[in-house]
């Protein structure tokens, strides 16, 4: 029988038979049982574009929390504020209501506790939630005996689980399924003489729009347009300006702040493939869209500083040509960024 512990009371001690294989007989073991009472049991859901959680307070112990992050597996944590699970195996099982004597407890799995740390359960999460949905409590029981001769049991009460669980499921369905790293550099190819974005390009840009609106850590968007080899450099400039502006206009029309967008066009200065064949030309006709956050800006600053330092060292080694060397140094942020763009694109990163 599972007894409840109220916030104002110490954990309840109950006795149940435990077969000890080493002793070859049955002994009585005291268990510290923590559970929300029937009247106090509450569940609450917290929603966000990148993470969802379902929380349950357990008086005297702490709390239980289901968590699902974008692009990650769901897990359950038992977070203690007082006594933690000792190191060793923890059995997870159902605990049917006392009036259902026809139903036996069902073992749902086992977790491994690192003594003193929150208990993290990664297996059989669907089965645990399924039992709670059906109105059956779930109990985590330590298989280890503490120095005072007691065992720890923590219960997840099923009462009021359903409504919060529904909100939690809705949140999971709406999680953004891609990360900053996956979208930090997006390449969009365009056809020769294209005067509009194709469906594939719009689909890629829609992901960027959705992500940047949800993540306040995105500080800016860099758009760099490139062309294949055209008749004149001026023709390449015109084409790439048009492509950069098409991408920027699409993002702005979808609600991205225009003040966060920087556009640049480079003509055919930075090819990444052979312009002597159609396959290479198609690769060179591209627009790169980069997301900036504090980390990427810091990395950019490091690259710019490294370029400056390398150029200065090269200048110092040129005896008698100090003025000529200094005049070759990049003098504006635009020049430096173009150098970084060239280095980054040709390396394939």
Whether 336 contacts 307, CB under 8 Å: yes
Torsion of CA 74, 80, 81, 85, to 10 degrees: -160
pLDDT of residue 335: 55
- CA distance linking residue 171 with residue 168, whole number of Å: 5
Whether 85 contacts 64, CB under 8 Å: no
Tokens of 125: 């999460």
What is the residue-level pLDDT of the chain in tens, covering all 349 positions? 333 333 333 444 433 333 322 223 333 357 789 999 999 999 999 999 999 999 999 999 999 999 999 889 999 999 999 889 999 999 999 998 777 778 788 999 999 999 889 999 999 999 999 999 999 999 999 998 876 777 899 999 999 999 999 999 999 999 999 999 999 999 999 999 899 999 999 999 999 999 999 999 999 999 999 999 998 999 999 999 999 999 999 999 999 999 999 999 999 999 999 999 999 999 999 999 999 999 988 888 888 888 888 888 888 777 555 454 444 545 454 555 555 565 444 443 3
Whether 265 contacts 222, CB under 8 Å: no
Grouping H, G, I as helix, E, B as strand and the rest as coil, residue 93 is: strand
Q: Which has the closest alpha carbon to 7: 85, 62, 79?
A: 62
The DSSP bridge pattern shows strands 220-226 and 286-292 to be: antiparallel
Q: What is the Cα Rg of the chain in Å?
A: 31
- Measured between its terminal Cα atoms, the distance across the chain in Å is 60
Burial of 2 (0-12, 13-18, 19+ CB in 10 A): middle
Tokens of 91: 């059995």
């Amino acid at each position: 029988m599972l007894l409840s512990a109220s916030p104002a009371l110490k954990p309840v001690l109950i006795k149940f038979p435990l077969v000890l294989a080493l002793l070859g007989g049955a002994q009585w073991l005291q268990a510290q049982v923590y559970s929300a009472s029937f009247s106090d049991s509450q569940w609450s859901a917290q929603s966000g574009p990148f993470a969802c959680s379902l929380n349950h307070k357990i008086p005297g112990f702490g709390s239980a929390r289901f968590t699902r992050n974008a692009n990650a597996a769901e897990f359950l944590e038992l977070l203690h504020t007082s006594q933690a699970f000792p190191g060793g195996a923890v059995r997870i099982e159902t605990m049917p209501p006392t009036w259902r004597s026809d139903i036996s407890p069902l073992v749902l799995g086992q977790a491994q506790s690192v003594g003193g740390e929150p208990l993290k359960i990664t297996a059989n999460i669907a089965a645990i939630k399924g039992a709670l949905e059906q109105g059956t409590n779930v109990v985590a029981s330590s298989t280890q005996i503490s120095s005072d001769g007691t065992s720890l049991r923590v219960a997840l009460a099923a009462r009021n689980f359903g409504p919060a669980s529904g909100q939690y499921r809705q949140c999971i369905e709406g999680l953004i399924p891609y990360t900053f790293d996956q979208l930090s550099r997006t390449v969009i190819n365009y056809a020769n003489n294209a005067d509009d974005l194709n469906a594939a390009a719009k689909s890629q840009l829609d992901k960027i729009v959705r992500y940047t609106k949800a993540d306040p850590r995105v500080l800016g968007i860099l758009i760099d347009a490139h062309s294949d080899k055209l008749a004149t450099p001026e023709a390449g400039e015109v084409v790439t300006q048009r492509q950069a502006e098409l991408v920027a206009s699409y993002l702005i029309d979808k609600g991205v702040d225009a003040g966060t967008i920087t556009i640049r066009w480079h003509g055919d200065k930075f090819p990444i493939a052979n312009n002597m064949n159609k396959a290479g030309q198609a690769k060179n006709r591209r627009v790169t869209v980069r997301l900036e956050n504090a980390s990427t800006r810091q990395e950019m600053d490091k690259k710019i500083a490294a370029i400056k330092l390398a150029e200065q060292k090269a200048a110092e080694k040129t005896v008698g040509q100090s003025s000529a060397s200094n005049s070759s140094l990049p003098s504006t942020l635009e020049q430096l960024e173009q150098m970084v763009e060239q280095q980054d694109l040709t390396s394939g990163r």
